[in-house]
Structure 1
């Protein structure tokens, strides 16, 4: 019995160290196999907790060992999170939470752990209450801790595993909430959920969800409705999402296209010629003439119906400004001239 207890306590030491490593920079070296072995340890100590939770002598021995290891590790690890005997029951969940909160974790390993949580949460017959709660907590905390992102090209966004995983988690969580809501409640559910995510993070998550769909579904419609429901949302979305993405969304839905074009018209209409430098500038929006032109150039790369719509709109605006062909008089004349050059 003494030999078995020594083996158990030695194994416990190793598991506690594994939990500590999951919170440290050393997680940068973890691959999927490391995670799988650590989860096996977690499963083993779930059984240990179940077997000895009412066995006072053994439980006391285990608790003493845990206390000693906590004291030892706290001396070497800043902000070390000590564990208790009852934490062994949720060892797998604690491990996953620690890894997902650790910025040092490699992207493929991060994605593997989030998939584990999502799969466990979706199997309601097999998942435990703690797994469900911890996965929901992970979702919320990940949204709020997502680092600021900037993407120059569309493929950079779609190839970013962290962002796409975050977007998948947001989609999954929203879809579950929407399934439990009546139709009239769905917009407020989306608004409430998105309202918890800081800006501009929320805009990048929305664009990732929208672009991951070949066709717009109910959730996509609700996300676009949220963007279009408020001037601040609209301006924030258009200013933080790159032109290529906005052009793609304009092709996917005419409703979005109309809102986007109206926004571009506001941008252009706010511009005036600065006679000192001979450039179009805006006192209302932080966007240069070249920035506005970039939006229109990307729209010209879309299918013919989008191009025709945009060109028709620009010609109407030019006509309303006096239909001048001389540069420097109408911003719309100059936009059209630059587009025709390309």
Structure 2
């Protein structure tokens, strides 16, 4: 086992060399040897993924080498893809070696004449699909109900993110490491795209039976016979809760980030998420309370206005719409929202006169 650990410790070095100018001297034999090592590391991943102690030992050995970005046990399973992408992005790789690399990656050894899409072939298809989805088109109509219809490209990115999170959970990845990985991935997306992808992922975890795509229905029937979800993992509410945990931790772990998240999303979408995630609903109500407390009544205009017009916070009209959406949500969410507003009104003196308490006026505006 010590020999295997020593071999695994060489993975960061292999990836580092594949990104360096040293590959300009690689011939076909050297390239084949590097790809064989990558497939060997993938074999180790498949062999030890169901053995927690050995899996943890391999992960510790990888982390001890302190590469950047840091690697963990799941990287062994993706080693051919990591090595292939590094080499394809390296302009120092000779043309002959590059052609041989493409043939090796698109037709791995032993796949026969009709392989299933794997490796870079699958990545290339996903990239092509993402480019097609990004073409200009008419935006889809929004449903009238509380359910959220997602843009195709945002939904595709959210499904890939959920698939990776489920894979990390299956591999027994550490919670702290998972959060760091998730943070790095989401920080690579521009805002508000990262917020849209997180919101879409959380919505997909709680989607109702009527929101599946037409193509999903047939796939779901096939996978249900095996007792798995469409992503190939065991379907369970507990599993989805574990998948949502890192997303919520990233979102709620920074007040400015959560505030920006709430400002960029439609209030109907936020109400849908608040109705399914108690952590998010509590934080959302606290944020709305903070925004409302910063409004003051202008007797000349006869309405509530921001203390500072330049502040990136909700106006009176936006605040009213957000509370109205929450009151149109699930019975529990409606009850929580009304209780919060009534408590705030009581703290302000429990007056039923307009202009004295923003909470009194909100309750009167939304009809309670």
Q: Is 1:309 paired with 2:360?
A: no
SS for the counterpart of 2:367 is helix
* 1:323 aligned partner: 350
* 1:190 aligned partner: 182
The 1:305/1:129 distance shift into structure 2, 3 A limit, reads closer
Shift of 1:179: 4.2
Q: Is 1:175 paired with 2:199?
A: no
Paired with 1:207 and 1:289, the residues of 2 have a C-alpha distance of: 25
The 1:136/1:273 distance shift into structure 2, 3 A limit, reads farther
Aligned length: 224
Q: Is 1:269 paired with 2:261?
A: no
Q: Normalising by structure 2, what TM-score? A: 0.53
Shift of 1:239: 0.6
* 2:254 aligned partner: 230
Q: 1:104-183 maps to which residues of 2 (within 5 A)?
A: 130-131=120-121, 134=123, 138=127, 153=142, 158-180=149-171, 181-183=173-175
Q: Is 1:289 paired with 2:289?
A: no
More helix by share: 1
Q: Name which of structure 1's ranges 243-252 and 214-223 shifts more when overlaid on structure 2.
A: 214-223
Which is greater in Rg? 1
Consecutive unaligned residues in structure 2, runs of 5 or more: 1-27, 29-94, 107-114, 207-236
Paired with 1:169 and 1:130, the residues of 2 have a C-alpha distance of: 15
Shift of 1:252: 0.8
Shift of 1:238: 0.6
Q: Name which of structure 1's ranges 173-182 and 162-171 shifts more when overlaid on structure 2.
A: 173-182
> 1:170-202, CA deviations, whole angstroms, 9 ceiling, x for partnerless residues?
222343345442234222222222222221100
Q: Normalising by structure 1, what TM-score? A: 0.56
* 1:278 aligned partner: 302
Paired with 1:92 and 1:217, the residues of 2 have a C-alpha distance of: 39
Paired with 2:327 and 2:177, the residues of 1 have a C-alpha distance of: 38
Q: Residues 177 and 189 of structure 1 are in contact (CA less than 8 Å); yes or no, is this contact kept in structure 2?
A: no
Consecutive unaligned residues in structure 1, runs of 5 or more: 1-49, 51-83, 95-124
The 1:130/1:285 distance shift into structure 2, 3 A limit, reads closer
The 1:130/1:250 distance shift into structure 2, 3 A limit, reads closer
The 1:308/1:300 distance shift into structure 2, 3 A limit, reads same
The 1:129/1:207 distance shift into structure 2, 3 A limit, reads closer
Q: Residues 167 and 205 of structure 1 are in contact (CA less than 8 Å); yes or no, is this contact kept in structure 2?
A: yes
Shift of 1:251: 1.4
Shift of 1:90: 3.4
Paired with 2:312 and 2:349, the residues of 1 have a C-alpha distance of: 24
SS for the counterpart of 2:205 is coil
Paired with 1:92 and 1:275, the residues of 2 have a C-alpha distance of: 74
> 1:253-281, CA deviations, whole angstroms, 9 ceiling, x for partnerless residues?
21111111000100100101123322211
* 1:332 aligned partner: 359
* 1:17 aligned partner: none
Q: 1:215-254 maps to which residues of 2 (within 5 A)?
A: 216-254=240-278
* 2:32 aligned partner: none
2:102 pairs, out of 90, 93, 97, with 90
Shift of 1:306: 1.5
Paired with 1:266 and 1:273, the residues of 2 have a C-alpha distance of: 16
Q: Residues 154 and 245 of structure 1 are in contact (CA less than 8 Å); yes or no, is this contact kept in structure 2?
A: no
| Aligned-residue RMSD, C-alpha | 3.7
Q: Residues 275 and 281 of structure 2 are in contact (CA less than 8 Å); yes or no, is this contact kept in structure 1?
A: yes
Paired with 1:164 and 1:233, the residues of 2 have a C-alpha distance of: 21
